[in-house]
Amino acid sequence: EWVQIFVFFAGIIYLQRKSFSATGRVSKSQTSICDYAIEVKNIPADTKDWQLLQHFSELYALDKVDWKGRPAVEGAFPVADITNSNNIMHMNTWIAECTLHKGIGPFISSFKDKQHLMERLYRCRAQMKMYAENSPHEGGHKLNHYLAAERKMLHTGMLIDKLTENTIKKKKFKILINTDEEQGKAGASSKTTASSLQRTNTDNQISNPSSIYRNIDAPAVSCYITFQYSESKVRCLEDYERYNSLPYSLFYPQPLMFRGNKLRVVPAPEPDHIVWENLELSAASKFYKRARTALITIALVILCFIVILQASIYKNLFSQNIPDDYVCGTAIPTLYANKTSVSIASMVLTRPASLERAAYDQLCEPIGSDTFYAVYTIGGDLNQIVGEYDIAACSTVGFCPAESASKFCPCVSTSSKQQCYPQGCSADDDTGLVACRAFDASAIGICYCYDALSNGLSANGVVATLRTLD
């Protein structure tokens, strides 16, 4: 089992590394927004998007020598088209898009909850149509069902109306009034004039000036900046990544500081890989959640291992107790068919009918608590019993079908250790032949249970078999 577990985890790690390798090769061969974008962390809570835009646009303008003395890039021009962002503050800067994320995780979660409520609302409306008058549905008009669906729809609609408002009140969010300062300021490149920094037409400055998200009063968490050129991103990461950790962070250059704060800049992930509602979580909170998930995963793995180990132990014990095919299919039926012309291939150990089974089993209780009543028949037909059976035989010959016996014990034990011998063999037989090996009397009951379980599983499945086993 340990080897199997090791091979399993080794395979998982190998496939994961192969997946990362393939993803890396594909990303290098294709152009995506990540080739131009960075993620900025450790920003002040009251940061505005235009402030970060101005900071990075001035640092990594490509039409002049930058703060580290890197030369200008010939033929590079600032943003001249804002069709994509529809935000005039990007005009004449070196930033194609600047997205500031605020700590509104609960607000985002409320929108997801609203999505589920909307799906419920649609289902309620569909049910109303299904049970309304003149409905083409097969069930036709059902007033009670229609009214129930209507009440559910009205209640769901009320929840939808209150969800966003309640979330804002619960988290004490405030909605800011649109002002020029809150909306941001325009271009920040060396070519931008002072007059262009002041916005004049709010409706043309942002794609949705009335957006609750943009104007909600929540602390800034992070910012995603997409440069006009990939060269700007490369220079930015070259400068900032070195100072993201000790000891270089102790010597943070002044030009890289933002309002006196040390920024943490890393490559931006793909947009569909970002879980926006989790960006505001602190490092301690992330560590706690990851540790909790890891502990739960480890606990489940250990639990699965214990279950598998126990199942393996019971399987081995069960396998050891199951007689071989010769005993179940030949030796035992041959003893019961002794002195008859019945073919052992047609013989089946059969229990009494369901209504009579309990009464017959009671006859065997004085002989042993782990016994049950069963006799050999032809094809399972209780009207064609093979041999003669008598409860009294259980006291004389025991559970074994003795070769010389005229009557057999109809009680079958699942734990008796009485030694039985195949036809033509005895306790004095020392030939060592497989056909003469002794077997326990419990083999008769075990063979019956094993055959019943195997046949039931193959014919009816696990659940139905467990329900009908007796």
Residue closest to 50 by CA, chosen among 8, 12, 93: 93
CB of 42 closer than 8 Å to CB of 264: yes
3-state secondary structure of 402: coil
Strands 347-350 and 216-217: unpaired
* Segment (H or E) for 216: strand 216-217
Buried b (16+ CB within 10 A) or exposed e, 270-290: eeeeeebbebbbeeeeeeeee
Residue with the two structure tokens 């080897």: 3
DSSP string, 57-76: HHHT-SSS--TT-PPPPTT-
pLDDT band with cut points at 50, 70 and 90 for residue 305: confident
Cα–Cα distance for residue pair 361/367, rounded to 1 Å: 10
Is residue 176 over pLDDT 50?
A: yes
3-state secondary structure of 222: strand
Cα–Cα distance for residue pair 449/465, rounded to 1 Å: 12
Average confidence score pLDDT of the chain: 83
Residue closest to 86 by CA, chosen among 203, 228, 179: 203
**Which residues are within 8 A (CB) of 286 and not within 5 positions of it... i.e. 6 or more apart?**
278
Is residue 208 over pLDDT 60?
A: no
High-pLDDT (> 70) share of the chain, % = 85
Cα–Cα distance for residue pair 422/338, rounded to 1 Å: 11
Mean pLDDT of 69-81: 93
Three state DSSP letters for 331-352: HHHHHHCCCCCCCHHHEEEECC
Determine the pLDDT at residue 256: 94
Hey, what are 15's tokens? Answer: 């496939």
Does domain 31-104+175-280 bear CATH number 1.10.10.10? no
Determine the pLDDT at residue 143: 85
With 0-12 / 13-18 / 19 or more C-beta atoms within 10 angstroms meaning exposed / middle / buried, residue 319 is exposed
Cα–Cα distance for residue pair 71/383, rounded to 1 Å: 104
pLDDT band with cut points at 50, 70 and 90 for residue 89: very high
Mean pLDDT of 267-278: 87
CB of 180 closer than 8 Å to CB of 198: yes
Cα–Cα distance for residue pair 126/145, rounded to 1 Å: 12
Cα–Cα distance for residue pair 247/188, rounded to 1 Å: 32
What region, left, alpha or beta, does residue 47 occupy, with left being phi > 0 and alpha being psi -120 to 50 degrees?
Answer: beta
The overall pTM is greater than 0.75: no
Is residue 157 over pLDDT 90?
A: no
